[in-house]
Structure 1
Amino acid sequence: MLSDDDAYAVLRSRDGRFDGRFFVAVVTTGIFCRPSCPAALPKRENVRFFRSSAAAMGAGFRACKRCRPDTAPGSPEWNVRADVTGRAMQLIADGLVDREGVTGLAAKLGYSERQLRRQLIADLGAGPQALARAQRAANARTLLETTSLPAGEIAFAAGFSTIRQFNDTLRQVYSTTPTSLRGSRPAAHRPPGVIHLRLTYRPPLDLRHLFEYLAARSIPGLEEAGPDFYRRALNLPHGLGLATLRPGPSYVSCELRLADLKDLPPAVRRCRHLLDLDADPRDITDHLTRDPLLAPAVVATPGRRVPGHVDPAEMAIRALVNDETTAGRALLAHLIHACGTPVPPEPGPPPFLADGVTHAFPRMDVLVNADAPAPANALARALAAGVVHLGPEADRDQAERGLLALPGMSREAVARIRLRALGDPDVFLPTDPAVERGLSHLGLTAEDSQRWRPWRSYAMQHLAT
């Protein structure tokens, strides 16, 4: 966290790159904002700073209706930090507290509820229930604004346990009612079952490079992609989903079709992770450009992000069979059509099926006995049995040790799993052909990559052009 004086300097500059890193509350208005909010600059003595929107809400402040701090990008800390707070934030964003409660969250992380609450309050100024409540409020606002569902259904889909809790939270957080949040947009223009979102990020962002990367590795039936879109089926906690991502003017346009609206939080988190939308390119660029040999490549390709993945288990299987190769993608296509979950034409209106997307990736318990290479069966067995954990709760080093103990698992495959499934910002693949070419072109060697820690994953994106 910045010092209060430094944070006020950021507020004065309206620097949007700090949105989500901290929140600004004004005691004279009772409102909290992003640092980039265009409202009049408050006096220094009237300002308080918070590490999370939940902490600001807990202190009695309401969300600004102008800058909508509840839709700010996530703090880039949660991508980098592998400690309990970072993993807890990922799990809360995935909706785990709504599904399993604080008890389930603490169990996933291997902590007692008291230890976890103490740690989160120390780091974020709010406990797990308050953080989950802020998530529910944002979910409810999204569903009210983008669907025509009755408010009662939205309350439970957003994660609230009672209608009264739903109404009270919206009144406290947004100082308004569900009806007012819904606005005047005709219900006929809100197709049932379809949610349209704007996923924010810190610029710059090279979406074309991301979409081209995903298109080059797309598996027929599971996903389709082009230079300006990406679409795929999702396995979510309560059922299937279909996500379509496109570039917007200053955001990523996200269309979600969900079999169960309770899956909104995990669907959004996974799409954000896929495109690495919570990264802070300023910190990364500042570090990498200190190397005079690498700096020209970084400057020439601004906004490069590390492609993530929507399903860590799927990414592990893909890395094991090597979806970078034609043979690997052919094997994956066979497994998807033979063992994957068919995407039904109509789990609910409107039609769910999209051109080219017919199946979700096979579940791990199904892949255990699939007609696949023995190492893939063994990996699926370890993931299904919980011997290896790759979800948001996973410790990266522990996951690596578990993966390397499995038959047929190479260090390069594990590195790719750390890179894309676990979001490790400091992975380097010196034997990757594109990286080798980039190093050679710049007159660099693999040993030079040590200078780029802890951002070697991003350095590779600038090398592999």
Structure 2
Amino acid sequence: MVDEEAVYAAMRSRDPRFDGWFYVAVTTTGIYCRPSCPAVMPSRRNVRLFPTAAAAQVNGYRACKRCRPDAAPGSPEWNARGDLVARAMRLIADGLVDREGVAGLAARLGYSERHLHRLLTAEVGAGPQALARAQRAQTARTLLECTGLPVSDVAFAAGFASIRQFNDTIRQVYATTPTRLRQATRPDHLPHTPGVIASRLPYRPPMDVPALLRRLGRDAVPGIEEYTEGTYRRSLLLPHGTGVVALRHVPSAAYVACEIHLEDVRDLTAAVRRCRRLLDLDADQRAIDAFLGADPVLGPLVAARPGLRVPGHPDPAELAVRTVLSRRVPAERARARLAGLVATHGRPLTTPVGQVTHTFPDLPALICWARRPAHDPGPAAPVPPAPYGFGPRCAEGRGAGAAERRRTLPALVEALAEGEVVLDAGADPREVRAGLLRLPGLGPRAASLVLMRAFGDPDVFIPDLAVRRALHRTRARPSRWSPWGSYATQHLWAVGSP
């Protein structure tokens, strides 16, 4: 836990930076809140601190109706760590316990259920079942507020095993019934489109949301992504079906507006988690900007672009394939190559949204495609000589052309299919990096990019050509930017970008 003096200082100043890092429970009221809750400041002797909302609920406290602590941004700690607890927290957030139970979570991590429960309880104050239960309650609240689903359907869509379990959980967490919760927050006249869920994704300011959405739009692959009029859309392959998310900036608000189109509403938890990872919404940006802003080289860049986030990715396997296909070719040609792959082997959406018509090919389709003798569309465009002596070989090694892609792509998809390389929320980043580097033709830059964008590693520094040029001009030492190397890389990449 954080220092108690810092806790009470944050409570007195209503500082939202600490929301999601810890939760404040008041013994006299039986309520737990965010540190920034606008309610009357409780007496210090009546305050208990918990590391997670689930821990407060396990100890008998219910969520405050004013500050909604269960909807606070998540802790950035789980992105910065790669140990067992962090991997378990990421898998639980992705809904694995709802789909496969605690036994499935333990098997995925390679530990016994008892050992996993003991570790989680010691560190975050609640076991995997309690953590998943708190998440199901929040998902149910979103469905009650934002959809017209019957209450019984909401229960099973949120992951509850029975109506009774659903009702008991809502009463304990929110001190009301599901029907009253819906009536209090969703008027009957509110318009609703079947299959569409409108949600808010909170974050810790500052955050340059328009810049991040534009960045994602510049790399958008036709068919699976679209950026138009400030809204970014993309398709998702989810555990129970497909989905499309539309993300939009809301000025003067600390959240991103999210519209989710789902084939199966049971995928809501997974879709929200992928969106949060895509937009890096759980970062403690003030701490990052303060650290990098004090550096003489990065200080002016941070001041010019405060709140610059690391763009994530909802599907690590897709990102790995896209990285290989985009090597040593112009951006437009890479997007055209990927668009052709999507149109030929992607899964068509039942209901397209805008120009988003397909999902990225799943693993079986990628295996069939990669095994074709002529899967590569053609030789890569010639790469002009680079100034400062930093050519293509410096970053990735030799022969990064069409012949190398013909070796790398089949090896990558075969490794994913056989489990030699595991790319999901519960993977150990060190094992991911080692597995990727064992593949022929896949060098450190590609492996680092997957860790940075797909796993949210905050301390990945990629010394590619653009970064090397910036380092040559500034004579900076990247080692002093740790543990925020990923954000330093973004600022160096942003030099000269629109």
Structure 2 length as normaliser, TM-score? 0.89
The Cα of 1:440 is off from its aligned counterpart by 4.5
Partner of 1:350: none
1:295 matches 2:299: yes
- Partner-residue secondary structure (3-state), 2:273: helix
Residue 193 of structure 2 aligns with an amino acid whose one-letter code is P
Is the CA contact (8 Å cut-off) linking 1:211 and 1:227 kept in structure 2?
no
Partner of 2:339: 333
Partner of 2:401: none
1:462 matches 2:491: yes
User: CA 1:450–1:226 in structure 2 vs 1: closer, same or farther (change >3 Å)?
Assistant: farther
1:159 matches 2:192: no
CA separation in 2, counterparts of 1:343 and 1:440? 47
Partner of 1:450: 479
Is the CA contact (8 Å cut-off) linking 2:204 and 2:254 kept in structure 1?
no
Partner of 1:380: 413
CA separation in 2, counterparts of 1:256 and 1:437? 40
The structure having more radius of gyration, on CA atoms, is: 2
Deviations 1:9-42 (A, max 9, x none): 2111111010000000011111000011101111
Residue 426 of structure 1 aligns with an amino acid whose one-letter code is D
CA separation in 1, counterparts of 2:465 and 2:95? 36
- Number of aligned pairs? 454
CA separation in 2, counterparts of 1:432 and 1:230? 28
- Partner-residue secondary structure (3-state), 2:41: coil
- Partner-residue secondary structure (3-state), 1:382: helix
Q: Give the unaligned 5+ runs of structure 2.
A: 377-405
User: CA 1:220–1:309 in structure 2 vs 1: closer, same or farther (change >3 Å)?
Assistant: same
Percent identity at matched positions? 56
CA separation in 2, counterparts of 1:205 and 1:318? 26
Deviations 1:236-269 (A, max 9, x none): 0000001000012321000001111110111000
- Partner-residue secondary structure (3-state), 1:199: strand
User: CA 1:454–1:188 in structure 2 vs 1: closer, same or farther (change >3 Å)?
Assistant: closer
Partner of 1:42: 42
The Cα of 1:188 is off from its aligned counterpart by 6.2
Partner of 2:357: 358
Is the CA contact (8 Å cut-off) linking 2:208 and 2:308 kept in structure 1?
yes
Partner of 2:255: 251
Question: Which runs of structure 1 show a deviation greater than 3 angstroms over 4 or more consecutive aligned residues?
Answer: 436-441
Partner of 2:127: 127
1:267 matches 2:271: yes
The Cα of 1:116 is off from its aligned counterpart by 0.7
1:420 matches 2:453: yes
CA separation in 2, counterparts of 1:270 and 1:146? 19
Structure-to-structure mapping, 1:53-452, within 5 angstroms:
53-183=53-183, 184-186=186-188, 189-226=191-228, 228-248=230-250, 249-322=253-326, 325-345=331-351, 353-370=352-369, 371=372, 372-373=375-376, 374=406, 375-433=408-466, 435-440=467-472, 443-445=474-476, 448-452=477-481
The Cα of 1:320 is off from its aligned counterpart by 1.3
Residue 255 of structure 1 aligns with an amino acid whose one-letter code is E
The Cα of 1:192 is off from its aligned counterpart by 1.6
Deviations 1:73-124 (A, max 9, x none): 0001011111111111111111000000001111111111111111101110
CA separation in 2, counterparts of 1:431 and 1:58? 48
Is the CA contact (8 Å cut-off) linking 1:365 and 1:381 kept in structure 2?
no
The root-mean-square deviation of aligned C-alpha atoms, in Å, is 1.4
Structure 1 length as normaliser, TM-score? 0.95
User: CA 1:327–1:408 in structure 2 vs 1: closer, same or farther (change >3 Å)?
Assistant: farther
The Cα of 1:221 is off from its aligned counterpart by 0.6
Q: Give the unaligned 5+ runs of structure 1.
A: 346-352
